[in-house]
Amino acid sequence: MIKHNIVYNPVVDWRFDLAKAEGSLLWDKEGKQYIDFSSGWNTTNLGWNNPEVNKAVSDQAHKNVYAPMWTADEVQSKYAKKLTDAFPEELDVVCRATGGTEANEMALKIARAVTGRSQIVSFAHTYHGQSFGTLALGFVPAYVKQIAPLVPEFIQMDYPNAFAEQPEEKTLEKFLTELEKHLKTEKVAAVFTEPGLITGWGSMLQAPKGYLTAVRELTQKYGTLLVVDEVGTGFSRTGKLFGIEHEEVIPDIVTLAKGISNGAGAIGAVVTKGKMVEEYAGAFKPTSTFGWNPLACAAALKNLEIHQRDKVWEEADRKGKLVKAELEKQLSDDKNMQNLRGLGLEIAFDISSDNKEGEDNSELSTVIVDRCFEKGLHLADAGDCIQIMPPLTISEDQLKEGLETLISVIKSL
């Protein structure tokens, strides 16, 4: 089926035609304005069409717009150094990619090449990309039914949910016992995870404190690599420049995309350990025809400069606390807000399945998203919960206005 000359996607239909975007505001083609609480799902962390980032792209366009994979444009080299310098010194090399799917696919190949093992441990109902390999990491069964089978040798575990009924310590202990059973076989090449917080597929589960530290210890014990997907959590979203900083964990591989260029160019990255991968480069072949297009690199370089210059992560942390405090104040006794959680400005809460209108959780969350949209607040439809992830640079006035809309809609249910 074709709609407006674009292939129609029956699972993720577009909500509106975007005519203009600036800062934390969006406009449709009829001129209606919306406060954005989605950031394009953690992409425009510095606000839509950040003028500094866009100018960097424009300036680069007058210099060079393409560099083949066997060369390095000056802006690519500058960004490679700037990016690796932002990580612990062990993570000193980077592979060029066009986005999160390609970056995560590269990480899978690196893990198998370096370890000589085939199995990958990941988590059900997580999102890491659209290739067969990345879908196998955390697919939702209903979404892949017609394209199965996926890549074999992937072990999906249940994510350790800090908001389960039992105490966090018990949840983590039970999970680690199950994880160690898999790692003891010494067939697992890598554990593939986000840094204590799921950002994709709408579940937005949060792990118990100490999760990433404990996983790092177990993977080192059994010679398994730790791959941390920072596609959704990177670039100040969680109140740190990168999510791994919350527990000061040094993984073997980090993947990046989304907020890497603030949406101004298609780009992804795999940051890893040079000593670990140098002799295996021929095996996993980290090549990409359009990886690190100079225009995207210019955007990414300026984007990282702004995050570090302005310490945007501190702003995210402060505003995230404001959001949670206001929601607690207004909705703590409302059954339609349960398990309020999150880090920085990656915040979510569950919807009660016992509601007045008879919908299940996912249906009711869609009702809330739709009603907010009618009132000028744009939320991503997370399906199982309400997910709040506005641009980190959103003004407090716009943040409060958006929260007022969301709260009023929930109270009206």
pLDDT-wise least confident of 91-95, 126-130, 238-242: 126-130
pLDDT tens-digit map of 19-39 = 999 999 999 999 999 999 999
**Euclidean distance between CA atoms 108 and 131, whole angstroms:** 12
What mean pLDDT comes out for the span 243-255? 98
Check: CB of residue 224 under 8 Å from CB of residue 185.
no
Q: Which CATH class is domain 2-50+311-411?
A: alpha beta
pLDDT tens-digit map of 334-345 = 989 999 999 999
Q: Greater confidence, 13 or 253?
A: 253
Q: Determine the pLDDT at residue 13.
A: 55
pTM of this structure: 0.94
- Assess whether pLDDT exceeds 70 at residue 371: yes
Q: Greater confidence, 356 or 327?
A: 327
pLDDT-wise least confident of 226-240, 245-259, 279-293, 386-400: 279-293
Q: Determine the pLDDT at residue 360.
A: 57
Contacts of 316 (CB under 8 A, 6+ apart): 236, 237, 238, 239, 344, 345, 392
| Confidence label for 271 from pLDDT (cuts 50, 70 and 90) | very high
CATH of domain 52-310: 3.40.640.10
The structural domains of the chain, with segments of one domain joined by +, span 2-50+311-411, 52-310
What mean pLDDT comes out for the span 278-287? 90
What mean pLDDT comes out for the span 135-164? 91
- For residue 149, say if its preceding peptide bond is cis, omega within 30 degrees of 0: yes
Q: What is the mean pLDDT of the chain?
A: 93
What mean pLDDT comes out for the span 272-290? 93
Which amino acid, 96?
R
Which amino acid, 280?
Y
What mean pLDDT comes out for the span 152-161? 95
